[in-house]
Structure 1
Amino acid sequence: MARIFITGSVDGLGQLAASALVKQGHNVVLHARNPERAKYGLAKVPGAEAVLTADLSSMEETRDLASKVNKLGDFDAVIHNAGIYQVSEKELTRDGLPLLLAVNSLAPYILTCLINKPKRLVYLSSGMHKQADPGLTGLRQDKPSVTYSDSKFHNLLLAMAAARQWPNVYANAVDPGWVPTKMGGPGAPDNLAKGFETQVWLAGGSDEQSKVSGQYFHHKRQSRYLRQGDDVSVQRKFIAFCETQTRIPFLKGE
């Protein structure tokens, strides 16, 4: 059985994935934004090994979260599930960055860099990444600006960069579909169960077909994505931006 850490796992798809993995016999560590949410998460996912707290809008708290994860020992998989959707571009974090950028783009970058490398990395992207600006124009401005679609493209870039750099790690991106969660809304048309089954399948790692890397999945099938995600120069531009903002290197030589 695997040991798995999931960000943003006390609600929505993260909670559903955590519950499914626990039922399969895996050891799952949850993540919550604050202690109150942590109590809620443990009540919703009985059998979870533990829950760690950190506000991913804060780079300091995100760095601390990575340390907490490492203190628990090695993990077989990390699911980067946490994300926000309908947020004003004017809403800034304590670090002075757009909230959307901090939570959706920089937090998974920080955790990818600082958590001891697992066997499998799963990044929650979205079909909306296809509406992103593949030129990363918003990141080149004096005051960075991103849309939700941009941030989901960033998740794809991070997955592809990790797959390219660490051949011993299975790193993939997932489009869960537009499903009826709190984020997706009650009118979302996709199947809720299919919204979390792919990340459970990839993180569990028992199926030989799941042991691939550098892919983009939708409902357990490899799917089409913006081909700029494969462009090493675009990956490097995104990584360089993250390194500048966080002062955390992706790795030597990048």
Structure 2
Amino acid sequence: MNSQIQGKRALVTGGNKGIGFAICQGLLQAGFEVIIAARSLDKAKAAIQKLPANASVRAVELDVTDDNSIHRAAEQLSQDGLDVLVNNAGVYPDQGVNILNVSRSILQQAMSTNTFGPIHVTQAFLPLLQKAKLARVINVSSGYGELGGLSADVPSYCLSKLALNGATIMLAEALQSQGIAFYAMCPGWVKTDMGGENAPRSPEQGADTAIWLATEASPDLSGKFFRDRQEISY
């Protein structure tokens, strides 16, 4: 546990399973108080039951596609500061479609969750982040969001993560004067409900860069994109 981190608070969207849950575990081990945000309070509380009984962790209901849910969560936590926000919640709705036949509804689902969600969560929690010294926000993106990684067979996910990377650049610029660092990271292909059983990486391996960005990375790297703790190109 890092004594400089002790007493700091982090919120992870989609923190009840997969990479998000692994990020929560790593942040707890680093010394953070962690807030697990999930679409239902029951899911968040169920995740807490998998953690040590003495873990400094709370649950909050937060659906990143629902502005009312986002604002209720921010209001519920408004008395506290927030040192780290991890925008992890995401969807991958592209099974059986490509860029030639993907429906508007699938594109809207991906954009609403993977792009607009992190933007609106950041907006809602900005007053809490402003209370912290050197707050950090981490967007969990993907190599599918790199210009060189776009795939016609993964249309909505690629476009939503490409847009998320653009939002990261703009948010980093907008928040620079406030001392809030903003990063994007790619966890790689991870064995989760989204990644599937054939994925080569564990959730812990996927979470490592996010934990590093939350704890060790220089604020001077704000606006950059990372994989395996190394900067990569957008």
Please give the TM-score of this superposition, normalised by the length of structure 2: 0.80
Contact (CA 8 Å) 1:32, 1:41: kept in 2 or not? no
1:124 corresponds to? 140
Deviation at 1:211, TM superposition (A): 5.2
Specify every segment of 5 or more residues in structure 1 that has no aligned partner in the other structure, as ranges. Answer: 134-145, 226-254
Note the alpha carbon deviations across 1:60-107, whole angstroms, 9 max, x for none.
2223223233x24111110101101125765859xxx82222111111
Computed over aligned residues only, the root mean square deviation of the Cα atoms, in angstroms, reads 2.3
Aligned to 2:48: 42
- Matches of 1:55 and 1:180, distance apart in 2: 23
Residue identity (%) = 26
Q: 1:64 to 1:219 in 2, by over 3 A?
A: same
Matches within 5 A, 1:56-205: 56-69=64-77, 71-86=78-93, 90=103, 98-116=108-126, 118=129, 119-130=135-146, 131-132=149-150, 147-167=156-176, 168-190=179-201, 192-204=203-215
Residues 208 and 35 of structure 1, relative CA distance in 2, 3 Å threshold: closer
Task: Give, as a single letter, the amino acid of the residue that structure 2 aligns with 1:105.
Answer: T
Distance 1:51 1:87 in 2: 30
- Does the CA-based 8 Å contact 1:126-1:175 persist in structure 2? yes
TM-score of the pair, normalised by structure 1: 0.74
**8 Å contact from structure 2 (residues 94, 156) kept in 1:** no
Q: Alpha-carbon deviation of 1:11? A: 0.2
Does the aligned pair in 1 maintain the 2:89–2:113 contact within 8 Å? yes
Separation of aligned partners in 1, 2:39 and 2:218: 33
Q: Confirm whether residue 52 of structure 1 aligns to residue 60 of structure 2.
A: yes
Deviation at 1:162, TM superposition (A): 1.4
Q: Cα deviations across residues 148-206 of structure 1 (Å, max 9, x unaligned)?
A: 011111221121111111111111100110111121111012354321011111112xx
Give structure 2 stretches of 5+ with no counterpart: 96-101, 130-134
Aligned equivalents of 1:184, 1:197: Cα separation in 2: 17
Say if 1:200 and 1:72 are closer, same or farther in 2 by CA, change over 3 A: farther
Structure 1 distance, partners of 2:217, 2:118, is 26
Question: What is the CA–CA distance in structure 2 between the aligned matches of 1:196 and 1:27, rounded to whole Å?
Answer: 17
- Is contact 1:10-1:30 (8 Å) kept? yes
- Gap change, CA 1:50 and 1:211, over 3 Å in 2: farther
Match in the other structure for 2:132 = none
Contact 1:180/1:190 (8 A) holds in 2: yes
Structure 2 residue identity aligned to 1:123: N
